[in-house]
Copies of this chain bind each other. A is one copy, B any other.
């Protein structure tokens, strides 16, 4: 190793030593002096029992004042070699608190911390039984009356939810519920997952036939059991469905398929939820201490009320209920919307010989999949990244280390490059009348996803069909009225229609709370998702984290889990640790519980 490469590690070590020593002496001034004027401390549960970014030295000071004595951080140590690029030193470190072990990331600029990430990895005394801690399985020696693994599993299935109550109920058995269930299983937290479909993976299987993941394999691994190394880059939906089903089985999850939750009430006397479910025709009340909603960021359909819709003699449905293109060859199909689902559905209809028109109401961000892979994800989630030593565990933490406040500045150059790289496609789309955007500040797809969960299409082929007119386009208009056999657009023109698909997106996840618990509880929790960026569909005030996701809400013992595979994988870790700590009766004082904003 040369001096040049060891220098960043030394710098990071020195900074950590100073920081650690200041914290040990409870010298908050000295600790704050190590942060730059522009600085961020993002904490995932380790210091705050919350998911929270402290923005600037004064916010960091306030957090330390409130939490330092209780947290008792110690044993900060650089992990591996730090690196330096463009004046910024990047370093990994490990640390401990009174109750937990953690892993963190540090960016130093001019000798001071610019970004600082602390994450909890495990609770002391409640570690997962992995590697040298794994259970023996065979209980060697001979004992009369012992039960086999199978008998114990069968006993658990027969009693949990009946004579024994789970500590956690997760409503929603899609990818989010399943991976959270796996983490809770490893932590020994009795959990039931409630899912309306019969089999794990059905929420993928039930979608339209041509669907493949829009994110590449390196981004999509589930916890604990990565995909085999021949897994396709973009997995077909039924293959993912089978994987989730297998995963649920081998992770030994208590998965109640064909089960519908009908009502949930928190009983203040018993301090338990009473969750009414209907399972195979039988009414059952589950009484968990903690209730998690994992019904999907894109789960609560948002269907506009268009005048005359009730008179339509054709078929109409929200995109989430679209059965696929098979029945519509030769039919006249109108798809309202111009985001991912709209594009995918239009393309599949066209493939099957339908006459398709897309109605684009407002501008859309188009990110060609190849460009997105190479320019946006490639550094962290790609075969090359893996070769560079960045597996998805490391990539997740790098991703988490960038504060939301400045994340757009990391993304803008990526989409500037995309504009150049895909200039030809963009120009042909515009010629076809398609209204393009790259986000209000040019920060592109992922910021749109975080801020509003919508407004884009990851192009896997449909944009070409729009550009060449195979998919007909009407842009800058809306459907003003639905007639018996047609729709009237806001410019007065009329389109004949046999099929009308509302690819109009999804509402806030607290819609589910309103339906299942009460509108009051939904409003007490407030809007879920979005950063408060005061950009379209993400009203302020600024919160700096995704609202209500994976962290305590204004409603006790009620949690929201969701996100894409990357987020479900990574943030389920922190939600699981919060739930485990509560089950074990550890003190979990939440620093700065976020106030609720906006109703639904």
The answer to whether A143 and B351 touch (CB under 8 A), given A134-B230, A148-B236, A236-B137, is yes
The answer to whether A234 and B150 touch (CB under 8 A), given A131-B383, A249-B242, is no
Is A135 a contact of B210 with CB atoms below 8 Å? no
Q: In the complex, what's the smallest C-beta–C-beta distance from A154 to chain B, in angstroms? A: 10
Contacting residues, chain B, for A236 (C-beta < 8 A):
137-138, 148-150
The complex places the Cα of A232 from the Cα of B129 at a distance, in Å, of 9
Is B148 a contact of A347 with CB atoms below 8 Å? no
| A331 within 8 Å of B (CB atoms) | no
Is A232 a contact of B460 with CB atoms below 8 Å? no
With beta carbons under 8 angstroms apart, the residue of B148, B249, B250, B351 that contacts A210 is: B148
Contacting residues, chain B, for A186 (C-beta < 8 A):
230
| A464 within 8 Å of B (CB atoms) | yes
| A437 within 8 Å of B (CB atoms) | no
Question: Which residues of chain A in 233-259 are interfacial with respect to chain B, using CB atoms and an 8 Å cutoff?
Answer: 233-236, 238-239, 242-243, 245-246, 249-251
| A146 within 8 Å of B (CB atoms) | yes
Q: Which residue of B lies closest to A231 (CB)?
A: B134
| A350 within 8 Å of B (CB atoms) | yes
Q: In the complex, what's the smallest C-beta–C-beta distance from A207 to chain B, in angstroms? A: 11
Question: Which residues of chain A in 336-359 are interfacial with respect to chain B, using CB atoms and an 8 Å cutoff?
Answer: 347, 350-353
The CB with the most chain B CB atoms within 10 A, among A137, A347, A370, is that of A137
| A269 within 8 Å of B (CB atoms) | no
A375-402 vs B, CB cutoff 8 Å, 1 = contact: the mask equals 0000000010010000000000000000
Which range holds the interface residue count of chain A? 35 or more
The complex places the Cα of A464 from the Cα of B140 at a distance, in Å, of 11
| A144 within 8 Å of B (CB atoms) | yes
The CB with the most chain B CB atoms within 10 A, among A150, A186, A350, is that of A150
Q: In the complex, what's the smallest C-beta–C-beta distance from A351 to chain B, in angstroms? A: 5
Q: Which residue of B lies closest to A462 (CB)?
A: B142
Is A146 a contact of B229 with CB atoms below 8 Å? no
Q: Which residue of B lies closest to A384 (CB)?
A: B132
Is B230 a contact of A464 with CB atoms below 8 Å? no
| A478 within 8 Å of B (CB atoms) | no
| A225 within 8 Å of B (CB atoms) | yes
Q: In the complex, what's the smallest C-beta–C-beta distance from A224 to chain B, in angstroms? A: 5
The complex places the Cα of A150 from the Cα of B132 at a distance, in Å, of 40
| A212 within 8 Å of B (CB atoms) | yes
The complex places the Cα of A33 from the Cα of B135 at a distance, in Å, of 51
Where the two chains meet, the residues of A that have a C-beta atom closer than 8 Å to any C-beta of B are 128-132, 134-138, 140-146, 148-151, 153, 186, 209-210, 212-213, 217, 224-225, 228-236, 238-239, 242-243, 245-246, 249-251, 347, 350-353, 369-370, 383, 386, 460-462, 464-465, 470
19 more A-B contacts (CB under 8 A) besides A225-B228, A246-B250?
A: A134-B383, A135-B232, A135-B233, A137-B213, A137-B232, A138-B212, A138-B234, A140-B460, A143-B351, A144-B352, A146-B210, A146-B351, A149-B238, A150-B238, A186-B230, A224-B229, A225-B225, A242-B249, A246-B249
Q: List 15 A-B contacts (CB under 8 A).
A: A131-B229, A132-B383, A138-B232, A138-B460, A140-B234, A140-B369, A140-B370, A142-B461, A142-B465, A142-B470, A144-B350, A148-B236, A151-B209, A228-B251, A246-B250
